[in-house]
Chain A
Amino acid sequence: MSTDSVVSIMDERDIERALTRITHEILEFNKGAEGIALVGIVTRGDILAHRIAANIESIEQVRVPVGSLDISFYRDDLASRVSPEVHKTTLPFDVNGCTIILVDDVLFTGRTIRAALDAIMDYGRPSEIKLAVLVDRGHRELPIRADFVGKNVPSEANQTVRLFLEAVDGRSAVEIWQAKPGEHIGSAPLPKSKTDEAVDL
C-alpha cells in the first residue's frame, strides 16, 4: 500500500469535542483548576495544551499556566536519528509542587512520554504528573498509560497516526497513514514553510 491510502478518523469538530471532554475530566479529577499547569510536547501537543487552557478559562474563569516541552535531547534513539529542528522549551512557572498535565497528540510506544517525564524532572519536583492525549493508538513498549484520552484508535504497527491542526497545517484532522518501509513513524512533520522558518538565518 502507498501513502495514498489515508483514513481520516477525526475532523475538527471531533477534535474539539474530545478536547472539551478532556478539559471537563481534568477539572473533575482536580476538583477545579487550582494548582494545575499544562505542559504540551512540541510540535502539536503544545497547541492542544493551549486549547485545553482556553477551555479551562471559559469554564472556570481561571487562567492556568501553559508550558511547551521539546524532548529532542532526552530521546533514547539518538544513535539512529537526530532531530535537526529543536524547539524551545519554556516552562513559565515553578514546577515544584504543582500538578502537571502533560499533553501530547498521539500516544504510541510511550518513549516520548518517558523522555518528557525525565525532562520535567530536570526542572524540579512536581507533586503529580498526569497524561492527556488526543489519540491513544496502542503498541506501548513501556509501562505508560494516559489518564485522559480523546479517542482510542486501534492501529497496525506499520501505520502512522497523525494529527494535523489548523494553526500549523491549515487543516484539522486525525489520519491513519500507511508508512512506507523505513519511514519514520510518528508525528506529522511540520509543513515545509514552518521548517524553513526554523532554519532561516
Chain B
Amino acid sequence: MSALATRHLLTIEDITAQEIGTILDIATSFKEVNERTIKKLPTLRGRTIINLFLEPSTRTRTSFEIAAKRLSADAVNMSGSASATVKGESLVDTAKTLDAMDADLVIIRHAMAGAPQILARCMRASIINGGDGKHQHPTQALLDLFTIREHFGSFEGLKVGIVGDVAHSRVAGSLLPALKMLGVETVAIAPPTLLPARPDVFGVETSTKLDEVLPTLDVIYMLRIQQERLERSPFPTLREYAMLFGLNLARLKNMKENAIIMHPGPINRGVELSSDAADAANNLLLYQVNAGVAVRMALMYVLLGGESDGAIA
C-alpha cells in the first residue's frame, strides 16, 4: 500500500488536497524527530538519493541532503559545474547514467521548465522537482503550507497575498494552485508587468496596490525580485519597487494583528523587505526553512515507501 497515487512529485497538481494533508501530518512527526538530540531514523537505510542541481542553490539542496541523511539514505550531490553537462552531455544521457547506478530517488533543479518530466520519462527512479525554471517548486509550496497550517491551525477562512514577481516565480507557480486546491483565497500583488498573464488559471485575484490589500491579508508572502530571471526591466528602479511593493515599518503597522510574513529566501534586504520587516517577530522565514527539512523527509518517506504489494504482518 502506498500513501500517494503518484511515484513522482513533478508539479503540485500530481497530488490531491488529501495527499497534501497526509504529507503535512507525517511531517509533523518528522519535525519532532528533528528536535531530538539524535536526529536520525533508519527508515530509508540503503536507499540512494541523488541531488541533481543544475542551477545554483544552497538552501533547497542542503535541505534535501539533510532530509535524506536524517532518514539514513545515501545522499549524493551533483552540481552543474561538476557534472558531465559541462562536457556536453544531454540531460537524458545524464539521467540514464544515474539510472544505471540504481538511484532510488532523484531530486532535480534545472533552469528549464519541464526538465523533471523528462527525467520521469527516462528513469526508473522516483523524481522530485526541486525547482524547474519559471514553472514549479512543489516542495517549497508544501513547506509553506506546513508553516501556514502550523501557525493558524487550519486553512479555513485565510487570505493569502503573494507580493512581487508572480509572473516569473516558480514558488508562486506551485503555491497558488496548492492554495486553490485547499480552497484558500489568494491575491497577487505586483506592478502590472509582473502579474500573471492568466490569473484565472490560478484562481487568483490581482491588485497593483499593496496598501489597499495589506490590511485584509492573513499571510503576506513576499517574493524575491529575481534579478537573474528578469530579461527586460519590468519597473523603473529597485528603489521605486521597494517604495511601492516592499514591506517596511509603516506597512508592518498596517497588517492584521495575527498576520504573518513569509518569504522563500534568499532575501534582498532593502528591496522586498526592509530590515525591520526582515527581522520582524512575525516573519516566519526561518520557520519555513526549519519546516522544509521535515516536509522533505515526509515526502521521501511516502514516495519511497510501499512500492511492492507483498503482504507482511
Contact = CB atoms under 8 A, between A and B. Distances in A.
B66 interface: no
B250 interface: no
Contact of A73 (B3, B33, B149): B33
B29 A87 contact: yes
Interface stretch (A12-20, A74-82, A162-170): A74-82
A186 B311 CA distance: 11
A128 interface: no
Contacts of B36: 122-123
A77 B1 CA distance: 11
Nearest to B301: A82
Interface in A176-201: 182-186, 198-201
A157 B29 CA distance: 32
Interface in B280-313: 301-302, 304-313
Nearest to A72: B29
A82 B302 contact: yes
Interface of B: 1-3, 17-18, 20-22, 24-26, 28-30, 32-33, 36, 38, 40-44, 71, 149, 154-155, 182, 301-302, 304-313
Given A82-B2, A84-B22, A88-B32, A73 B313 contact: no
- Interface size on A, as a range, is 20 to 34
A153 interface: no
A85 interface: yes
Contacts of A74: 41-43
A183 B33 CA distance: 31
Contacts of B311: 80, 182-185
Nearest to B18: A199
13 contacts: A73-B33, A73-B41, A77-B312, A78-B43, A80-B309, A82-B3, A82-B306, A84-B26, A122-B41, A123-B38, A185-B313, A199-B21, A200-B21
Contacts of B304: 78
A84 B302 contact: yes
Interface string A109-127: 1010000001000110000
